Amino acid sequence: MSADPGAGRLPPLREIIARHGLSASKALGQNFILDEQLLDRIAAIPGPLAGERAYEVGPGPGGLTRALLRAGAELVAVERDRRCLAALDETGAAFPGQLRVIEGDALAVDEAIEAGPAHVVANLPYNVGTALLVRWLGGEAWPPWWKSLTLMFQLEVAERIVARPGSGAYGRLAVLAQWRSLPRLAMKVHRSAFVPPPKVMSAVIHIVPKPQPEGVRSATLERLTAAAFGQRRKMLRRSLQSLPGALEALDRLGIDPSRRAETLSVEEFVTVARELSAARTG
């Protein structure tokens, strides 16, 4: 017998989906996972969640939701698809007091107020996943409101998050993810695990924050990487010429301006951003 109180009162996910007439919306970037063992494995990635607060974006019919509730999380879930709300209410009723559902667009929710501090665990809708990640990685306040991020992405995006300098996947997203947090590729997920199956493979990324390097503003690093990788095939002397003080910073640091952005390490980007941050406050 299952140890969690809700398991015996919830029908299989396929029955929930059929009863509520749900189908994945392409417009909302939805792809459902029905394999409960896989969902339990994803819910376990952040570590023990019993008594911990968790935050989920785009729960859909509630597959990952019930896995997080089974793990003992106190869950806040944001869903903009009204069709899914009745199914989520049914899931919440099986786990009294553990689930709060917010109807709305996750991009408009103040997570720090509604959920934080929390472990974010989500099979993110493809059409907003990267935008949400960049938002959660940004901002001057650090440590952030989230304790960890466990997020499903297309495999190509996941590889960009963990990429190393010099690789084809290395770019702005890698620098923003790695300069003050530790991302790892926790699990690859075959396309056949989803309903409907997407055209590409997926992967789960796990990210935990680390101390922020001193003397560096997040906004400065964001501007620097946007300029550097906005014209990634060009040398830094060309891609950074529109960013005030950037070429002078390269000269002071002894970084060859004929290099291209993908050859600079995360640490080198941080060093340049520190020079620019100092110049701005000096």
- The CATH number covering residue 120 comes to 3.40.50.150
pLDDT for 174-201, tens place per residue?
999 999 999 999 999 998 888 777 788 9
Pick the last residue of a domain from 158, 181, 209. 209
Assign 1 a pLDDT band (cuts: 50, 70, 90): very low
The sign of the CA dihedral 207, 180, 265, 228 is positive
The span from the CA of 250 to the CA of 248, in Å, is: 5
Is 2 within a domain? no
**pLDDT bucket at 3, cuts 50 / 70 / 90:** very low
In a domain, 277, yes or no: yes
Task: Report the number of distinct structural domains present in the chain.
Answer: 2
pLDDT one-digit tens code per residue, 50-81? 999 999 999 999 999 999 999 999 999 999 98
Do 51 and 138 lie in a common domain?
Answer: yes
Decide if 98 is inside a domain.
Answer: yes
Same domain, 176 and 224: no
Instruction: List phi, psi (to 5°) of 166.
Output: 90, -15
Q: pLDDT band at residue 238, thresholds of 50, 70 and 90?
A: very high
First-to-last alpha carbon distance for the chain, in angstroms, is: 65
Same domain, yes or no: 204 and 232: no
Tokens of 176: 């923003």
Residue 183 neighbours by CB distance under 10 Å: 21
Domain match, 240 and 173 both: no
- pLDDT tens digits for range 15-38: 888 887 777 666 555 677 889 999
Please check the confidence at residue 258 and state whether its pLDDT lies above 60.
Answer: yes
Q: What is the pLDDT of residue 26?
A: 65
pTM over 0.85, yes/no: yes
Q: Which of 165, 188, 209 is the last residue of a domain?
A: 209
Does position 2 have pLDDT exceeding 60, yes or no? no
Confidence of residue 42 (pLDDT cuts 50, 70, 90): very high
Nearest to 123 by CA among 132, 115, 114: 132
Whether 10 contacts 65, CB under 8 Å: no
Residues spanned by the domain of 246: 218-281
**pLDDT score for 282:** 47
